[in-house]
């Protein structure tokens, strides 16, 4: 059941996103509407453009064409003929990054910093918030994911699942409007996947707005309000998980889910 009001103003709207790397066209007209409190899961084969979508929404990639708008902010138009000067374009990308936070496949923690120092780096040094305030918030966030006793540990002293939970806390500490997860469990040993997905599921239940790229389709079934199946840079099919997984309409979606879901259902 959806956690969102479909009549409310969207938090984020992306229209007609195109992106090429050299001669390879990765996105070929991607659209997305995301409401506050909604969880959208992007699925599809490797190379279908899922990660590029997240990086565009976070300002890490500049689309070749299309628009992105977040509630309360201006619409950013990436059309080549009106593309802003580099300095302005950087400001626009930073504006997107200020509203969102991304959790990557690999946690990318600073190895020379403690867990607590990794978490407060963004809100203290980048956002300029008072150190005492962000330290208190970071300690509370670490406690909520079961890592209160690891605040003074270095990343190499943690398991992969613990490091990824720190990565999630680091994103939450930025107090973003939108959380972006790029295959957050793909680099983990199988026995550690569950602890990370549980944290993400709890965030979904709390009403965080999220876009998640994952191959964990059982998680998508439980946590997503809406699922998008991408292939070759376009959204082939989309809908509520119960509908898309049980009765996909497009032949390409059917083939993908048959290959992925059969091992899950037979486990």
Q: pLDDT tens digit string along 65-86?
A: 999 999 988 888 887 766 565 6
Q: Is residue 167 predicted with pLDDT exceeding 90?
A: yes
pLDDT in tens, 201-257: 999 999 999 999 999 999 999 999 999 999 999 999 999 999 999 999 999 999 999
Query: What letter would DSSP give residue 158?
Result: S
The yes-or-no verdict on residue 266 having pLDDT over 60 is no
Positive/negative CA dihedral, 106, 112, 114, 117:
negative
pLDDT at position 77 is 87
**In the prediction, which pLDDT does 85 show?**
59
Quote the CA–CA distance of 184 and 210 in Å, as a whole number: 13
Q: What is the pLDDT of residue 144?
A: 94
Query: Would you say the C-alpha torsion 209, 213, 216, 218 has a positive or negative sign?
Result: positive
Task: Tell me how many helices (H) and strands (E) the chain has.
Answer: 9, 10
* CA-based nearest residue to 242, from 49, 41, 4: 41
All structural domains of the chain: 12-105+178-265 (3.40.50.300)
For residues 181 and 208, the answer to whether their CB atoms sit within 8 Å is: no
**Percentage of the chain lying above the pLDDT 70 cut:** 91
What pLDDT digit, counting tens, does each position of 39-58 carry?
Answer: 999 999 999 999 999 999 99
Q: Name the pTM for this structure.
A: 0.91
What is the number of residues in the chain? 267
Of 156-160, 162-166, 263-267, the range with the lowest mean pLDDT is 263-267
pLDDT the model gives residue 93: 77
Q: Render pLDDT for 174-200 as a digit per residue (tens, 0 to 9).
A: 999 999 999 999 888 888 899 999 999
Positions of E strands within 158-264: 178-182, 210-213, 226-231, 234-239
Residue 264, pLDDT above cutoff 70 = no
Measured at the alpha carbon of residue 214, what is the angle toward residues 247 and 250, in degrees to the nearest 5?
Answer: 25
Q: At CA 262, angle to CA 259 and CA 267, rounded to 5? A: 135
**C-beta atoms surrounding 78 within 10 Å:** 21
Largest CA distance in the chain: 55
Residue with the bigger pLDDT between 132 and 6: it is 132
Q: Give pairs for 72-81: CB < 8 Å, separation 24+.
A: 73/99, 78/17
Beta-strand runs (E) in the chain: 12-21, 24-34, 39-43, 65-70, 76-77, 100-103, 178-182, 210-213, 226-231, 234-239
The reported pLDDT for the residue numbered 33 is 95
State the average pLDDT for the chain.
90
Q: Is the pLDDT of residue 267 over 80?
A: no
């Amino acid at each position: 059941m959806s956690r969102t009001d479909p009549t409310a103003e969207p938090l984020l709207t992306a229209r007609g996103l195109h992106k090429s790397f050299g001669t390879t066209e990765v996105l070929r007209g991607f659209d997305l509407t995301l409401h506050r409190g909604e969880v959208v899961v992007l699925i599809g084969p490797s190379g279908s453009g899922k990660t590029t979508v997240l990086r565009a929404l976070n300002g890490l990639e500049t689309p070749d064409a299309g628009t992105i708008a977040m509630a309360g902010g201006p619409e950013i138009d990436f059309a080549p003929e009106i593309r802003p000067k580099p300095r302005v374009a950087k400001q626009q990308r930073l504006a997107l990054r200020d509203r969102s936070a991304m959790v990557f496949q690999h946690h990318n923690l600073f190895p020379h910093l403690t867990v607590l120092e990794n978490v407060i780096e963004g809100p203290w040094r980048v956002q300029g918030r008072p150190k005492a305030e962000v330290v208190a918030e970071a300690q509370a966030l670490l406690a909520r994911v079961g890592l209160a006793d690891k605040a003074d540990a270095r990343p190499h002293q943690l398991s992969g699942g613990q490091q990824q939970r720190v990565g999630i806390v680091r994103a939450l500490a930025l107090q973003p409007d939108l959380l972006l997860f790029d295959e957050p469990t793909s680099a983990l040993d199988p026995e550690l996947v569950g602890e990370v997905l549980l944290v993400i599921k709890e965030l979904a239940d709390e009403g965080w707005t999220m876009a998640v790229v994952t191959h964990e389709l059982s998680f998508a079934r439980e946590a997503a309000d809406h699922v998008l199946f991408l292939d070759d840079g376009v959204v082939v099919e989309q809908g509520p998980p119960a509908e898309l997984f049980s009765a996909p309409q497009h032949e390409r979606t059917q083939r993908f889910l048959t290959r992925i879901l059969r091992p899950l259902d037979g486990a």
